[in-house]
Amino acid sequence: MATMDVDTRENVGIEEVDSEKDKRTGPRRPASKKRWWLRLLILLIIGALVYWAVGRWQARQAAELQKRQPGGQPTVPVVVASARKADVPFYLRALGSVDAFNTVTVKTRVDGQLITVAFKEGQFVKLGDLLAEVDPRPFQVQLAQAQGQLARDNAQLNNSRADLQRYQTLYSQGVVPKQQLDTQQANVGQFEGVIKADEALIDSAKLQLTYCRITSPIAGRIGLRQVDVGNIVHPGDPNGLVVITQLQPIAVLFTIPEDNLNIVLQRLKQSGNLPVEAYDRSGQNKITSGRLVTVDNQIDQQTGTSRLKAVFDNKDSALFPNQFVNIRLLVETKKDKIVIPAPAIQRGPKGTFVYVLKPDQTVEVRNVDVGMIEGNDATIENGLAEGEQVVTDGVDKLNSGSKVQVTGDSGPKA
Report the alpha-carbon distance of residue 343 to residue 369 in Å, rounded. Answer: 15
Contacts 24+ apart (CB under 8 A), 364-370: 364/400, 364/401, 365/400, 370/345
Spatial CA neighbour of 223 closest among 247, 245, 248: 245
Q: What confidence tier does 39 reach under pLDDT thresholds 50, 70, 90?
A: confident
Express as a percent the part of the chain with pLDDT over 90: 45
State pLDDT tens for residues 247-286. 999 999 999 999 889 989 988 888 878 899 999 988 889 9
Report the alpha-carbon distance of residue 33 to residue 279 in Å, rounded. Answer: 82
Report the alpha-carbon distance of residue 92 to residue 301 in Å, rounded. Answer: 20
Winning range, highest mean pLDDT, from 24-33, 61-70, 348-357: 348-357
Spatial CA neighbour of 363 closest among 371, 355, 372, 351: 355
The conformation of residue 193, written as its DSSP 8-state character, comes to H
Cis peptide bond N-terminal to 249, omega within 30:
yes
Phi, psi of 247 (to 5 degrees): -105, -15
State pLDDT tens for residues 320-329. 999 999 999 9
State pLDDT tens for residues 381-413. 888 888 899 999 888 888 888 888 888 776 654
Residue 92 belongs to what H/E stretch?
strand 84-106
Report the alpha-carbon distance of residue 371 to residue 360 in Å, rounded. Answer: 29
Q: What is the DSSP string of 274-318?
A: -EEEEE-TTSSSEEEEEEEEEEEEEEETTTTEEEEEEEE--TT--
Report the alpha-carbon distance of residue 207 to residue 215 in Å, rounded. Answer: 14
